[in-house]
Amino acid sequence: MTDTAEPFGARLRGAMDARGPLCVGIDPHASLLADWGLGDDIAGLERFTRTVVDALAGKVAVLKPQSAFFERFGSRGIAVLERAVADARAAGALVLMDAKRGDIGSTMAAYASAYLDPAGPLFSDAVTVSPYLGFGSLRPALEAARAAGAGVFALALTSNPEGAEVQHAVRPDGTTVAASVLTALKAENAAEAAEGRLGSYGAVVGATLGGTAHRLGADLAIDGPLLAPGIGAQGATPADLPAVFGAAVRNVLPSVSRGVLRHGPDAASLVAAASRMADEVRAVAE
């Protein structure tokens, strides 16, 4: 069972060191269900999700269910997600809920309660959030995470082309919006960093970005984890990570979905694919 006695950053570091620096997404979209010979229905969703959790929760550092693919099935899909979260944490994996929530005031507090309240059925070790209503709008989630020993990953430099129009925009002080998000996260991590620990407040930075972060003056040394989607199907490889993240590469948690999931539904093949990917990442991060 995943223990929340330690802050998320410390638990993440321990999991990455013990199991390899890899996050595997649970993304049951219709085409992948079809590839597995499953129907795009609640039975297919449940079979897919249970297979991934049973195969990988005892092996990988982090599992990342994409909430949208469960929400589309309504309350029955959410029930499958609740069980997946509980079973994955019981097997020792950290669960990062990929929900990308962002709002203000009591609404943001409600989202925080949904994913970061230890008494809740969707309580996860961390959650993804969007800071684009202003970083300060995330305060309820940051405070809830701190109280629960959980973590938060804020979108900073994403790999989708549309993200640039907001993330690369220049503020009146001459910094980019993305750089300001990274600076704010570094401040949130200051207390844990002062104790020599990995912070619990991370950034989402695409592995496909090449030198974009450096050109934008974005300092990736936030003293916290860097969730890096884009490995595998989106074109990036573990060998690309040092060029993107530089000296912060040891804090990178690559996120892979189709690159591992396409090897299902055979459990042994899923484990082998995840193990290979974790070994490749470890080789460039050390």
Grouped pLDDT means (10 residues each) for the chain, 286 residues: 78 97 97 98 98 98 98 98 98 98 98 98 98 97 98 95 94 94 98 98 92 83 96 81 92 96 98 96 89
Q: Which of 59, 64, 100, 186 is catalytic?
A: 100
Active site residue 64: no
Count up the domains in the chain and report the number.
Answer: 1
Owner of token pair 């991934």: 52
CATH assignment at residue 108: 3.20.20.70
Q: Is residue 2 part of a domain?
A: no
Residue 208 is predicted with a pLDDT of: 86
Q: Is residue 192 part of a domain?
A: yes
Q: Is residue 180 part of a domain?
A: yes
Residue 17 is predicted with a pLDDT of: 97
Q: For residue 180, what are the domain limits?
A: 8-285
Structure tokens at 225: 């984890």
d(C-alpha 86, C-alpha 74), whole Å: 19
CB-side neighbour CA atoms (13 Å) of 219: 11
Structure tokens at 103: 């709002």
